[in-house]
Amino acid sequence: MKLQGKTAIITGAAKGIGAATARLFAFEGARLLLLDKDEANGAAVAASIAERGGKAVFRRCDVGCEADVRAALDTVVDVYGDLDIVVNNAGWQLNKSLLETTAEEFNAVLNTNLTSMFLFTKGAAELFIARKKGGAIVNVCSTFAVVGSPGYAAYHASKGGVASFTRAAAISLMPHNIRVNAVGPGTTDTPGLHDGARDTGDEDQGMKSFLALQPLGRFGKPEEIASVIAFLAGDEAGFVTGALWMADGGYTIV
């Protein structure tokens, strides 16, 4: 069990990549605080892990809200007395071009997708430093951090920020033995992807148009992103920091 004895926070754990990451981390022996604003699905993921003998507690958290992030960090200490890993996964995609996006919408995307990562990274780093045992942070980024497209202006900005913030945080936190890395998922078959397809006006047609762009001829599976997150979070990646590891079926190399 590669994460035995580790305590981890996973955000956006109610569905998709976050839920797959929660299941894998539990299988690998980690104790989990699962966070999401979707209480019903988040509690169900924690319950299904507990039924299989894993350790998972769910709390509602809006990751862009500083008070919620502070409460989550207090909870992990109250429940487990420890913290080793944070997976900053929660995010959403606004399907709007630059000219269609309002300033309010732009800020809302940045708040959930980027400010949240600052809040959790800073808060967790303070805990790691106080406990003098280092730590690992994995930020879920995107291929859209490094390629452009006509839609999704705010999303591109947020994920570009995640990539850059990951490098800056890795350098800032090196002296404290805290590693900060990012994973860049390609198009992955999650509820969020189906939401994006629905936003095009026709879910089936939207999914087909996304599929046509995939070099491997298929979407990624949430479990295929979770396995990269688990690697970056674990001790096997002890010499890896500041990396943006693409898990995109070749999307960014063709």
Contacts with ligand NAD, residue ranges (CB under 6 A) = 12, 14-18, 36-38, 61-64, 89-92, 112, 140, 142, 185, 187-188, 190-193
Q: What are phi and psi of 7, to 5 degrees?
A: -115, 130
Give the nearer residue to ligand NAD in terms of CB position, either 19 or 132. 19
In the chain, which residue ranges form alpha helices assigned H by DSSP?
A: 16-27, 39-51, 66-80, 103-110, 116-131, 153-173, 191-199, 203-211, 222-233
Asked if 222 and 190 touch (Cβ cutoff 8 Å), the reply is: yes
CB of 7 to ligand NAD, least distance (A): 19
Asked if 24 and 227 touch (Cβ cutoff 8 Å), the reply is: yes
Distances (CA, A) of 158 to 78, 107, 153, 207: 32, 9, 9, 23
Asked if 97 and 147 touch (Cβ cutoff 8 Å), the reply is: no
List the structure tokens of 61: 């958290």
Give the nearer residue to ligand NAD in terms of CB position, either 2 or 37. 37
CB of 11 to ligand NAD, least distance (A): 6
Please indicate whether residue 155 is annotated as part of the active site. Answer: yes
Give the nearer residue to ligand NAD in terms of CB position, either 7 or 89. 89
CB of 133 to ligand NAD, least distance (A): 27
Give the nearer residue to ligand NAD in terms of CB position, either 39 or 235. 39
CB of 180 to ligand NAD, least distance (A): 16
**Interatomic CA distance for residues 124 and 69, integer angstroms:** 10
Q: Which residues are catalytic?
A: 155
